[in-house]
A and B are shown apart, each in its own frame.
Chain A
Amino acid sequence: MKPDQLLRPMPAGLYCPAGDFYIDPVRPVARALITHGHSDHARAGHGAVLATRETLDIMGIRYGEDFCGSMQAADFGERIDLNGVTVSFHPAGHVLGSAQIAVEKDGLRIVASGDYKRGADPTCTAYEPVPCDVFITEATFGLPVFHHPEPKAEMGKLLTSLRQFPERSHLVGAYSLGKSQRVIRLLRDCGYDAPIYIHGSLARLCDYYVSRGIDLGDLRPATLEKGDPTDFRGAVIVGPPSAFADRWARRFNEPLIAFASGWMMVRQRAKQGGVELPLVISDHCDWPEVTETIRELAPSEVWVTHGREEALVRWCELAGVPARPLHLVGYEDEGD
């Protein structure tokens, strides 16, 4: 069997004709396998959904309990048969519940890795390499400019700023699923034990992380009922970056805008976004991670999706690994 008979790009997403299922489809389909809960990968309205327990829970939180016709939870490593095609889920290290999906038939194995990273992250299960014939990799940060620094050193910048500017409210932009909880956990690991204030949109996901055993410490809502802005003097407030351009942000004292994202590696991106304190913390692979992963797995072929496909394909070409871009549409980097 040829690889593109087993999995092929279709307008709705990656499709397996033999098993009649899609992986991370961008429009409603009869059967969907979902790698993780970010909204560009996990959408509502499918018939049957197969994903990890956490991903199903997160979809339920985001879209309501009736987000699909029927759901089935997959354990990591469990082999599930779908019309003669074997699928299995393996940790991807991206956010809580994130998985790579291995698809096998007739001795051919393709791994769709979804979004993944190799760096340590106490809020999710670490990535596991899965040997395969075809490795499908993201390329969100697939350019040689991206080298994510050590997350704790980045957090150190925030702690330094809190000491230097104790009167200012530090607003840390972080996407609501994954990044926010990781940032909070990192702050705790750096010894920050003061209350952390969170935007309303994070509350349920933070509660869920806590229920899964990830201690986030003292979290409080960043709401101001009849108080005054000085209540948040010197406080850390975590919220989605979009909220900081909104009227919501006016309640804080001389806000200092930080943003935790891999994109903060490039100064101009920080500047355009009005970010004063960029924190390069990413839930995706940086350039060395993605190239090391390809070397380690040594697949006979690499398929590249969303991101900087052309650079990674070029690298594979130089490394002698056959590679091609998949040109899937509809995946943005919500998670970073």
Chain B
Amino acid sequence: MRAFATLLDRLVLTPARNGKLKLLADYFRDTPDPDRGYGLAAIAGTLDLKSVKPALLRELVLERMDEVLFRYSYDYVGDLAETIALVWDQERKERVPDEAQPRLSSVVTRMNALGRTEVRSAVRDLLDRLDPSARFAFIKLATGGLRIGVSARLAKQALAEFSGMDVTEIETLWHGLAPPYEPLFAWLEGRTERPVLATPAIFHSVMLANPVGEGDLDTLDPADFAAEWKWDGIRVQMSSAGATRRLYSRSGDDISAAFPDVLEAINFEGVVDGELLVGGTARTNSPTRTFSDLQQRLNRKTVNAKMLDEYPAFVRAYDVLFDGEEDVRPESFVARRARLGHLIETAPHDRFDLSPLVPFASWQELETIRREPPDPVIEGVMIKRLDSPYQAGRMKGPWFKWKRDPYNVDAVMMYAQRGHGKRSSYYSDFTFGVWTEGPDGDMLVPVGKAYFGFTDAELEVLDRFVRNNTTERFGPVRAVRAEPAYGFVLEVAFEGINRSTRHKSGVAMRFPRIARLRQDKLPADADRLETLMAMVEAKEA
């Protein structure tokens, strides 16, 4: 448990991706089986551990300390797990030697073997035997509140780093394996052959596209490619084998529970790649609804009848990876597309349709089509090589995405916050606003926050402005001068804009970033809230 607790403590406070990779890779290298496998599972979100209710923990801690002192402590720390971890030892306690502490694997096995009446005394005993940092890790795992800012993808990347294997290989195997992943580690360390997977309804890593860069298309022959719309939903993978059906997000998270409407409608066997959307399919002649409608259905553990009725979900199919049990990934896009057509043809009309191909003769023509899509839920076009097999990962060449141009506004810097890690001595997170009519004339209202898009040299300029023009400080945040005739104008680019009840301005941007520093402009020349509202309305129309 000690090594895992130390890893968590470091990961939580390490902002840089490379730093996290290094910490994870070192942990996988230095920790024995089966502990490292359970550690990996805890981080990747695949660990199954008997849960402990916060109320029980509170009872256990109050058995040993005064309630008033506990309350003072909890008020100060603010996190129940951390408070309990810290106050558990009332008296001075000798440092528990690392080898004397329970191992992560023994904690997991022990907890999962407990009967209901044994939980209380087992948890008390474990809390006694762990040191504060391991205690914190244990409570977080057992109450399901572990947040460390590491994705499953990053954990796999670390496995790749530690073993020298390709991350795509790990992805391919991942969903067929279970904690504590001993066969996986054995293979990664070159001790055994690649593990063989039994179940087919697992997630298979998806194929991703590269954005069209300057001159990328110049040397390519349009006749070698097909184009289709890029829909603004979320990319999903449907997997169906025998009685098992699953819906996975692009990163392999199982989101089946939130979409029973889609899952129940699957009547085919195989693995299909598509876009999850809300609204009606093209085959039922009803409109596709916006991303903000889809958001109503996302990130839910369960879904009620009202949600299912008001926000019906469907899948617009892009590709097929397995046709029945047959792995068709090595076939060409054209051949797979034909198979997909047959498969969707007989699938329920209201839950599945086929993403239509967009005919074009030249890149120029496609550019025109891209700029004026026939549906507001389209965010660009995908360009796919007709002879391309389905390859996991983001290969340059076979698939491109050509997005609609981003939106742009000129906004005024209002607040700046210090960054983290490498940027901790720079003001690098900027809140910006646009003008709107206030009670006493025009005033700025914040519309978003951005912390990338600028170069290091531009950051120097931004930071200098913040330091020389601070009007107020709130902890790590500074308010800066922002007046019609004096301030800093930022050109902000973003991918989409929606209404929001959470923000004072009433709008929320998607992926805002600083496109350019407009030192040539005065704040008075910046955009107004009405301009942003018009963008929202144009989208909704």
Please list the residues of chain A having a beta carbon within 8 angstroms of any beta carbon in chain B.
Answer: 143-147, 149-150, 153, 164-165, 244-250, 254-255, 257, 265-268, 270-272, 274-278, 288-289, 292, 308, 310-311, 314-315, 318
Is B424's CB within 8 Å of the partner chain A? yes
Say how far B460's CB is from chain A's closest CB, in angstroms. 9
Which residues in A have their C-beta under 8 angstroms from that of B65? 144
Would B73 and A267 count as touching, CB distance under 8 A? no
Query: What are 14 A-B pairs at a CB distance below 8 A?
Result: A143-B76, A144-B73, A144-B90, A145-B83, A145-B87, A165-B19, A266-B86, A267-B13, A268-B79, A274-B476, A276-B10, A278-B13, A314-B68, A318-B66
> Which residue of the partner chain, among B15, B89, B95, contacts A276 with CB atoms under 8 Å?
B15
Hey, which chain A residues are within 8 Å of B421, CB to CB? 274, 276
Q: Which residues of B contact A144 (CB under 8 A)?
A: 65, 69-70, 73, 86-87, 90
Interface of B is mostly: helix
Produce 1/0 per residue, B470-510, CB < 8 A to A: 00000110000000000000000000000000000000000
Interface residues of B (CB under 8 A from A): 9-10, 12-15, 19, 22-23, 26, 65-66, 68-70, 72-73, 76-79, 82-83, 86-87, 89-93, 95, 132, 418, 420-422, 424-425, 475-476
CA–CA, A255 and B419, complex, Å: 13
Nearest Cβ on chain B to A260's Cβ, whole angstroms: 15
Contact B422 A255 (CB under 8 A): yes
Contact of B22 among A147, A164, A249, A267 (CB under 8 A): A164
- B73 — which chain A residues lie within 8 A by C-beta? 143-145, 311
Alpha-carbon separation in the docked complex, A286 to B90 (Å): 11
Q: How far is the CA of A64 from the CA of B73 in the complex (A)?
A: 41
9 tightest A-B CB contacts, nearest first: A145-B86, A288-B92, A249-B425, A144-B87, A311-B72, A274-B424, A145-B73, A276-B13, A144-B73
B136 CB to nearest chain A CB (Å): 8
Across the interface, name the chain B residue whose C-beta is closest to A150: B95
Chain B neighbourhood of A147, CB < 8 A: 86, 89, 92-93, 132
Known: A150-B95, A249-B424, A289-B92. 11 other contacts (CB 8 A): A144-B86, A146-B86, A147-B92, A255-B425, A266-B76, A268-B78, A272-B475, A272-B476, A276-B421, A311-B69, A315-B66
**Which chain A residues border B476 with CB–CB below 8 Å?**
272, 274
Q: A72 CB to closest chain B CB, in angstroms?
A: 38
CA distance A276 to B16 in the complex (A): 10
For B418, what are the chain A residues with a Cβ–Cβ distance below 8 Å?
245, 274
Q: Which residues of A are found within 8 Å of B132, using beta-carbon distances?
A: 147
- Nearest-CB distance from A171 to chain B (Å)? 9
Q: Report the bound CA distance from A130 to B128 in whole Å.
A: 34
Complex Cα gap A229–B82 (Å): 38
Q: Which residue of B66, B76, B90 has the most chain A CB atoms within 10 A of its CB atom?
A: B76
